[in-house]
Amino acid sequence: MQRNDHSNLKFVKDSLKRFFPNSQAIALAIILIVGFFLITSLSNVLMPVFIAIVLAYLLEGVVKKLEHKLKRLPSVFIVFLAFMGAFSYFLFGLMPMLYKQLKQLLQHTPDIIKSSQAEILKLPEAYPQFISADKLRDMMFAIQQEALNYGQELLSFSASSVVGIISALVYLILVPVLIFFCLKDKSVLLNWFAKFMPRDRLLSINVWAEVDMQLGNYIRGKFVEVLIMGFASYMTFSALGLNYAVLLSVFMGLQVIIPYVGATLVTFPVLGVAFFQWGFSGDEFMYIVIAYSIIQAIDGVVLVPLLFSEAVNLHPVAIIVSILFFGGLWGFWGVFFAIPLATLVKAVTSAWPRLDDKMHTFDM
């Protein structure tokens, strides 16, 4: 009995030593676990702080470039004022327009669904051996009810909620203030946080350096891709006379943030609006389909390889799994940051120390 206990204890020690071969690995594990716990448990309370930290990190790259010509404080002021100008335009110029068009689109959603339903219900007549009219009618009714429910929820979202309005006001005031001080006092805040970190953190610093480089490439590329896709879509949709051109172009820009999934989701509103406006038989509808396909093809064939040539390569399965996993944990923000978080996971697994330098592979 004692021999079995000794064998089990030795097995546990060997396993722990294999996963944590040195103190640096233990320090990195502690940082990751504590960070995950703090973000998960305090995300609702400290969400303005987390948002401010992320935005300050994004603006830090611009500040560093200006520091080559100016000192830190003037650079921070210039970048912060530019950010506030862009944010003010988005809040007071673009948002009211988007809300108006979104409200109009949701009000017309039942008509769009009915028109689509009428066309789809013609399929059993053309292909009776493949599609049953009764089953298709039931399915279309269920889809219509779900779409109407989502539309009503979106129209009433936070409109009558005092808590939602107060939270939005708090965010609008606190987040810019926190961004400014995160940029201005970056070194002071980092030195303060360093006091709570493990002493033996060289591996953690190396991992962060890799993640920082990859995130910088990814974020810069995504920002440019969003602008190009949104602008190109707006010019195309406006030239073709498509309704809700501003709203749909914003959708086209934002869909690139969620790879694979975003392109699928944005197809329905774009083609749905075009169908409701012109119908399947109209030449304008085919022009929209062709233009939409060309824009998506240019994004996948030209923009992505050009903008992300230096960014980390993640397998499509890893991207989809990260979207599902982090989206399930943190909702919208989990989906939004799924790729950066997947990059962090890849950097940690790649840099994690092992007892031997040889990687054991197994034939599948």
Q: What is the pLDDT of residues 273-293, one digit of tens each?
A: 888 888 777 788 889 999 999
Residue 148 lies in a domain: no
- pTM for the structure as a whole: 0.68
Residue 124 lies in a domain: no
Residue 281 Cα to chain centre, angstroms: 36
Cβ-Cβ contacts under 8 Å for 76 (sequence gap 6 or more): 63, 180, 183, 184
Is pLDDT of 190 > 60?
A: yes
**Residue 240 is encoded by which pair of tokens?**
């073709």
Contact between residue 198 and residue 27 where contact means Cβ atoms under 8 Å apart: yes
Handedness of CA 323, 325, 326, 329 (dihedral sign): positive
Residue 207, domain extent: 201-358
Residue 334 lies in a domain: yes
CA 221 vs CA 75, 85, 218, 257: distances in Å: 23, 22, 5, 10
Phi, psi (degrees; rounded to nearest 5) at 362: -125, 140
Q: What is the pLDDT of residue 359?
A: 40
Contact between residue 156 and residue 104 where contact means Cβ atoms under 8 Å apart: no
Structural domains counted in the chain: 1
Mean pLDDT over residues 219-238, rounded?
A: 87
Residue 130 lies in a domain: no
Q: What is the pLDDT of residue 82?
A: 93
Cβ-Cβ contacts under 8 Å for 260 (sequence gap 6 or more): 316, 319, 320
Residue 251 lies in a domain: yes
Residue 129 lies in a domain: no
Is pLDDT of 125 > 80?
A: no
Phi, psi (degrees; rounded to nearest 5) at 6: -65, -40
Q: What is the pLDDT of residue 364?
A: 36
What is the rounded distance in angstroms from the CA atom of residue 153 to the CA atom of residue 173? 27
pLDDT category of residue 215 using cuts at 50, 70 and 90: confident
Residue 281 lies in a domain: yes
Contact between residue 307 and residue 225 where contact means Cβ atoms under 8 Å apart: yes
Q: Annotate 207-244 with b (16+ C-beta within 10 A) or e (fewer).
A: bbebbeebbbbbbbbbeebbebbbebbbebbeebebeb
Contact between residue 328 and residue 310 where contact means Cβ atoms under 8 Å apart: no
Is pLDDT of 1 > 70?
A: no
Residue 132 lies in a domain: no
Cβ-Cβ contacts under 8 Å for 104 (sequence gap 6 or more): 244
